[in-house]
């Protein structure tokens, strides 16, 4: 059986979990240690052995260990091609991969400055003020990205025709914007409907529910504002 090492608040781990569940693949899941003050220290030895970066997710399949959510998703597609999570044609698969990259690197870039909201206010007032200012600038960038994604989605149910890794990646990054009190989705009707539609799928709902539960334990600052 496949074994997946994950972090409770790792959006990239949740990407892989959603794909595994959507494909109906049995897997064993092991959470690595995580706290807001120490992060992933001490690093899990199995993760360190598999990934020079020491980061989750790590997927172990027999004597093969893989890291990086994109690499793992491509491996799962090769191993279990049905149901597919990539489009059929090379051109559409390339577009799908670009949307996944958009989620992981372009949209996620302005999400990073919001992560300070998971922690108590910084004791240095100047540092706290700088964090708040960076957060406001990040929200403007996220809103712009939402508008672009709204145009790209249009009237489609999914970004690449049918459910794909692009939807999984974009869902997880947008979930992070919402958990970090980022810009609301409501002004972007198609994108908001897409997000609600995915939340109705058990694999996506489980990821969102478990992420919220982990935040209640690990990120009390989100609840206190």
> Which pLDDT score is estimated for 84?
98
Cβ proximity of 220 and 18 under 8 Å: no
Q: What would the two tokens of residue 116 be?
A: 């300070």
DSSP H or E stretch at residue 2: strand 2-6
Q: Partners of 60 in the beta sheet?
A: 3, 65
pLDDT band with cut points at 50, 70 and 90 for residue 219 = very high
pLDDT tens sequence across 77-131: 999 999 999 999 999 999 999 999 999 999 999 999 999 999 888 889 899 899 9
Distance CA 117, CA 95 (A): 33
Its pTM stands at 0.97
pLDDT tens sequence across 178-214: 999 999 999 999 999 999 999 999 999 999 999 999 9
Minimal CA–CA distance to 173: which of 103, 112, 116? 103
Q: Partners of 162 in the beta sheet?
A: 160
Cβ proximity of 128 and 196 under 8 Å: no
> Which pLDDT score is estimated for 174?
98
Q: What would the two tokens of residue 135 be?
A: 């957060």
Distance CA 177, CA 183 (A): 7
DSSP H or E stretch at residue 147: helix 125-153
> Which pLDDT score is estimated for 225?
60
Rounded to the nearest integer, the mean pLDDT of the chain is 96
Distance CA 111, CA 104 (A): 10
pLDDT tens sequence across 58-89: 999 999 999 999 999 999 999 999 999 999 99
């Amino acid at each position: 059986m496949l074994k997946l090492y994950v972090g409770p608040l790792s959006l990239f781990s949740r990407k892989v979990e959603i794909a595994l569940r959507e494909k109906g693949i049995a897997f064993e899941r092991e959470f690595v240690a995580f706290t807001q003050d120490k992060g992933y220290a001490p690093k899990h030895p199995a993760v360190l052995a598999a990934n020079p970066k020491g980061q989750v997710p790590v997927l172990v399949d027999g004597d093969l260990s893989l890291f990086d959510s994109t690499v793992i998703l491509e491996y799962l597609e090769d191993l279990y091609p049905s149901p597919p999570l990539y489009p059929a044609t090379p051109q559409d698969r390339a577009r799908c991969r670009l949307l996944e990259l958009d989620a992981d690197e372009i949209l996620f870039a302005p999400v990073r400055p919001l992560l300070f909201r998971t922690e108590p206010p910084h004791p240095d007032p100047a540092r706290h003020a700088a964090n708040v200012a960076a957060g406001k600038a990040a929200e403007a960038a996220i809103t712009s990205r939402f508008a672009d994604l709204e145009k790209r989605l249009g009237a489609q149910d999914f970004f690449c025709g049918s459910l794909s890794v692009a939807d999984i990646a974009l869902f997880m990054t947008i979930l992070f914007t919402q958990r970090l009190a980022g810009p609301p989705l409501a002004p972007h009707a198609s994108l908001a409907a897409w997000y609600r539609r995915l939340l109705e799928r058990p694999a996506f709902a489980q990821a969102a529910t478990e992420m919220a539960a982990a935040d209640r334990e690990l990120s009390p600052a989100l609840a206190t504002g």
